[in-house]
Structure 1
Amino acid sequence: MDKTKICITTLEYPPDIGGVGESVHRIAKMLINNGYEVHIVVFRSKQRLASDGTRRRASCTTKFQDNVFVHRIKSAIRSNVTEVQDFFSEIYFQIKYLHQKYNFNLFHAFFLNETGYVTTLLAKENNIPVINSVRGNDLHKHIFHPKNHAQIAWILENSDWVTFVSRDLLKRASIIAPSVKLKSSAFWNSIAPINFEQLPTPSLVNELSGIVIGSLGRFRDKKGIEFLLDACAELGKELDLTLLLVGDFVEKEREYWQQQIQQSQIGHRLCITGITSRQEALAYLPHLDIFAIPSVHDGCPNTLLEAMSASRAIIGTRVDAIAEIIEHGVDGLLVNPGNTKELTAGLRYLATQPQLRQKFGAAAKTKVTQQLAPSVEYQNWINVYQRALGRSEAAFLGIIGADAGTRGRRDAEKLISNKGRGQEAEGRREF
């Protein structure tokens, strides 16, 4: 029997840098190992702009990468500013062409904005099941743009299945589109074991002094770094410490962050590595005494799981999966987002309690190994794919006539993977 063909649309995929790309890559490998044929379609509306006078026709380049078909779509650039509707019209045409060529059995979009609408529209027009995966900003930020609300609601209502990386995101989606409650799963990301001893010594490690408080990522508005700057500046008056930011601020917010650093008066206690490779970023983790993730909202950040894997003492905020994964007082500390006073007190407590830091770190390592292992996420995703395909089969069988029952059932079953049908009742949570 032919393999079931999955088409995943995403804004990024390795070698692109970003948490969504890493998640899609991880899921693609899971699906390949389970016998699916996987196609990744990568596109991003930012690529439609050309300030340097570049002109080009639309294109789609395909590469067979680690047993995955990776299709990178670029829209035409006919002027300095390409209207967004022109961009998505061309993206739709390119994905439709790929579908005609490969005959996909299921579509899966990561991130409701950008990928979700064009993918869902094409899927519904061709009676193909579609999964949409909410990652964070799509419901935490983009939902507040008046032009996005109706589109997001339509995507949620017309999805065959919707996945979330936190219960908070599922709750918000259920308010926007109540039908989501009957066709959704909420489960965390996973992380493979990391051998930190084999990582190279990071370049700035000799510049770190005192208690080292650190955070990793591409720092932007949702990360709450301004509160961490203020907290560490205050603590620096009484403790010898270094605030290490592994990564850099996003370019569009750079002036804001330069201002915040000056206003915090943190001075020489701040060390920023700039953009590094993932290997070097991970290599800094064992050199941290405290890992801080003071996000205002954040989905299920991979950096949290990486810090847990490194047995770091963690202080995070009561938002999204951070608050669901970290148990306050057991494997880390939780504070309310945007509360500099609570964050300062929590950091002070951990900084002066080395045995507690060790206890929290060991507990975090145990939790990430047992509850956030790839095998757990793997089973969750396989269940999701089987459910989405099963819902499509049921809908198909519901419209075929009695005379065509045997033949129709055989045709519908071609949609189902050899690994089995969907399991259990819809709407079960995967935590």
Structure 2
Amino acid sequence: MKPKVCITTIEYPPDVGGVGESVHRIAHMLIDSGYEVHVAVFRSKQRLVSDDSRRRASCKTTLQDEVFVHRIKSAVRQPEPEIQDFFGDVYFYLKRLYQQHQFNLFHAFFLNETGYVTTLLAKENGVPVINSIRGSDLHKNIFSPKFHAQTAWTLDNSDWVTFVSRDLQRRGAAIAPGILLKSSVFLNSIAPINFEQLPTPALMHQLSGIVIGSSGRFRDKKGIEFLLDACAELSTEIDLTLLLIGDFVEKEKSYWKQEIRQSKLVAPPEANSRLQITGIVSREEALAYLPHLDIYAIPSLHDGCPNALLEAMLAGCAIVGTNVDAIGEILADGTAGLLVEPGDTPQLTTALRQLANQPELRQRLGTGARKKVLQQLSPAIERENWLQVYQRVLWPERSPQFNQMSAVSMNK
């Protein structure tokens, strides 16, 4: 009989986002390894509606490529539902799913949105639970006083905790020291991509000079203001285009419009624009831009293990990244890109200038980035890491040495 796993997450395809992509990848790794996988999707901001409508709580189940996907929505009974009402509705439907399917394991992605309610249900029913920390759940949300006690309790009551960077593990251990005995660090992976089969992207004819690109959903943690400053300075000495593949999150758009106005870069529709922003595009179109970049910049202030970095590495981009989280760990040896300190515009400007003026260095680093991602960040390696964790949590008697060895061997 297949062991049944319920993964809880804030997003799952077709939702756009790195957490959803990771959950999708891991779900299929588990299916290929003989597990029955259920994914419960819920997010607190979905409790709000903009048209003053009302709705009942619901749980809609579909089968997506062998994964049972349960999308849970809380009720809207008043203009601004309380967060505790949201979690109450989620708990109700998550409990019903457990009663129906009798899961052998719960696995929560993103600590604050999903981890607490998932861990509470698991502990009440004697079911093991894994919590996977992705980035903002410890780097940003921990600064909200209302999350601190909940975060510490969830970490303490997890059977295992996984992190995508050592920075995140260190912060987790500062909050709940005991997790060092029940946690491991390993990076995301990515499958090879055939970039030659992707269509020519829409803005190609508007890109000139050295093309410096970055991609994602741009928000506070991405450090884009420092990239704007660096490119503005470089534009006085180098013909360049800054290409932002994606768009700014809605709640911060007025801030970013101000930053762009204050920069010396000229944004469309002005003539001779040195800044191009694609807006929201499909993942296929976003990927199609990468081989056309001269330099890929990821100036994040904190960022977990971003899929965008791994995609740029697969495309053979010359990369400039900040020394934070997995970005710093991946680029530290200098074979796959240049590393700068976060928020340091002069360092970032110098690194971009160095790559812009040295095509042979761009070629060497791009080749090194592609080689590294294919050899060290392959799905086969990530799959083995996950299977070790699952075996430890589900069948600890079969792996008695895992407790002592994992924190050392899996964190290398």
TM-score by length of 1: 0.92
Structure 1 residue aligned with 2:395: 390
Write the distance in 2 (CA, Å) between the matches of 1:10 and 1:350: 39
CA contact (8 A) 1:384 1:422 kept: no
Deviation at 1:51, TM superposition (A): 2.8
> Does residue 56 in structure 1 map to residue 55 in structure 2?
yes
- Correspondence 1:403-414 to 2 at 5 A: none
Q: Which whole-Å deviations, capped at 9, do the CAs of 1:256-301 have from their partners, x for residues lacking one?
A: 0000011111112000000000000000000000000000000000
Give the partner amino acid of 2:407.
G
Structure 2 residue aligned with 1:158: 157
Q: Which whole-Å deviations, capped at 9, do the CAs of 1:108-140 have from their partners, x for residues lacking one?
A: 000111100000000000000000000000110
Instruction: Name the SS of the counterpart of 1:350 in structure 2.
Output: helix
Structure 2 residue aligned with 1:202: 201
Deviation at 1:421, TM superposition (A): 5.2
CA contact (8 A) 1:51 1:80 kept: no
Structure 1 residue aligned with 2:103: 104
CA contact (8 A) 1:383 1:422 kept: no
CA contact (8 A) 1:328 1:334 kept: no
CA contact (8 A) 1:383 1:423 kept: no
Structure 1 residue aligned with 2:345: 340
Instruction: Name the SS of the counterpart of 1:38 in structure 2.
Output: strand
CA contact (8 A) 1:386 1:422 kept: no
Write the distance in 2 (CA, Å) between the matches of 1:180 and 1:386: 18
Write the distance in 2 (CA, Å) between the matches of 1:422 and 1:110: 26
* Of 236-245 and 326-335, the range deviating more from structure 2: 326-335
Structure 2 residue aligned with 1:224: 223
> Does residue 306 in structure 1 map to residue 305 in structure 2?
no
Give the partner amino acid of 1:149.
H
> Does residue 286 in structure 1 map to residue 291 in structure 2?
yes
CA contact (8 A) 1:196 1:286 kept: yes
Give the partner amino acid of 1:56.
R
Structure 1 residue aligned with 2:241: 242
Write the distance in 1 (CA, Å) between the matches of 2:362 and 2:265: 24
> Does residue 358 in structure 1 map to residue 363 in structure 2?
yes
Q: Which whole-Å deviations, capped at 9, do the CAs of 1:321-380 have from their partners, x for residues lacking one?
A: 000001353221000000001100110000000000000000110000000000000000
Write the distance in 1 (CA, Å) between the matches of 2:168 and 2:400: 24
CA contact (8 A) 1:380 1:430 kept: no
Structure 1 residue aligned with 2:270: none
Write the distance in 2 (CA, Å) between the matches of 1:188 and 1:272: 29
Write the distance in 1 (CA, Å) between the matches of 2:49 and 2:61: 23
Structure 2 residue aligned with 1:412: none
Please, which of 315, 319, 327 is the counterpart of residue 320 of structure 2? Answer: 315
CA contact (8 A) 1:213 1:244 kept: yes
Give the partner amino acid of 2:117.
V
TM-score by length of 2: 0.96
CA contact (8 A) 1:111 1:135 kept: yes
Deviation at 1:55, TM superposition (A): 1.2
Distance 1:422 1:108, change over 3 A: farther
Write the distance in 2 (CA, Å) between the matches of 1:378 and 1:204: 37
Give ranges in structure 2 of 5+ residues lacking alignment. 267-272
Instruction: Name the SS of the counterpart of 2:407 in structure 1.
Output: coil
CA contact (8 A) 1:295 1:317 kept: yes
Write the distance in 1 (CA, Å) between the matches of 2:365 and 2:294: 11
Number of equivalences:
403
Please, which of 320, 332, 335 is the counterpart of residue 327 of structure 1? Answer: 332
Instruction: Name the SS of the counterpart of 1:14 in structure 2.
Output: coil
Instruction: Name the SS of the counterpart of 2:395 in structure 1.
Output: helix
Structure 1 residue aligned with 2:381: 376
Give the partner amino acid of 2:276.
C
Write the distance in 2 (CA, Å) between the matches of 1:170 and 1:63: 35
Write the distance in 2 (CA, Å) between the matches of 1:47 and 1:334: 38
Distance 1:155 1:209, change over 3 A: same
Give the partner amino acid of 1:333.
L
Q: Which whole-Å deviations, capped at 9, do the CAs of 1:166-185 have from their partners, x for residues lacking one?
A: 00000111111111100001
Distance 1:312 1:422, change over 3 A: farther
Q: Which whole-Å deviations, capped at 9, do the CAs of 1:377-409 have from their partners, x for residues lacking one?
A: 000011111111134xx6xxxxxxxxxxxxxxx
Distance 1:357 1:422, change over 3 A: farther
> Does residue 427 in structure 1 map to residue 411 in structure 2?
no
Q: Which has the larger radius of gyration?
A: 1
Distance 1:145 1:209, change over 3 A: same
Deviation at 1:427, TM superposition (A): 2.4
CA RMSD of aligned residues (A): 1.1
Structure 1 residue aligned with 2:269: none
Instruction: Name the SS of the counterpart of 1:215 in structure 2.
Output: strand
CA contact (8 A) 1:6 1:106 kept: yes
Structure 2 residue aligned with 1:93: 92
Structure 2 residue aligned with 1:40: 39
Instruction: Name the SS of the counterpart of 2:244 in structure 1.
Output: strand
Instruction: Name the SS of the counterpart of 1:99 in structure 2.
Output: helix
Structure 2 residue aligned with 1:400: none
